[in-house]
Amino acid sequence: MSTTRLLHRPSTPAASSSAICVMAATPAAVPELRAFARQTVSRWSKGERAIEALALIVTELVTNAYQHSGSSHVTVYLFCDERTVGVQVSDKGSWREPGQEAPDDDEDLHGRGLQLVEAYAEAVQIQQTSAGTHVTVTVSTDTRSGDRPGSLRAVPQAWERSHVAAE
């Protein structure tokens, strides 16, 4: 049984629309939360590219939370304004410490999720605290910017990592 409740108030810009869903961090959460993202962004009429970008981003981040955090639940908070759509995926777990990661192997089918997220994102912020991890990603829907909204970028943006001391 899954419960929907607000676990963490995301620190995002003022959103004109938002939606939230909390589920148990299980394999079943991945397609359910991807569908939640697709349906929500579709209702906001942000375009097919933004829908696909957010669906991929939610898939990758929820999969990471399920596989790596040890959290019992994962929260997906979607938001939009006139020129962007975004998501914050939060869990109450913790990432593996550096050096505990699996070896880098080109034949490995895993380990590229955050690179995909970065390639589609206008901005990415990762915040790790004693209360869990919060990853906030925004995607441009502004067609005046020269990039296609939600399109794969040729050169990924730099990651911004925020480490907050334990409270």
* Residue 7 backbone class (left: φ over 0; alpha: ψ -120 to 50; beta: rest): alpha
Q: How confident is the model at residue 70 (pLDDT cuts 50, 70, 90)?
A: confident
22 forms beta bridges with 75
The reply to whether CATH 3.30.565.10 applies to domain 17-96+111-163 is yes
Q: What is the pLDDT of residue 40?
A: 96
Q: How confident is the model at residue 7 (pLDDT cuts 50, 70, 90)?
A: very low
Q: How confident is the model at residue 1 (pLDDT cuts 50, 70, 90)?
A: very low
Question: What is the DSSP pairing of strand 73-80 with strand 84-91?
Answer: antiparallel
76 forms beta bridges with 21, 89
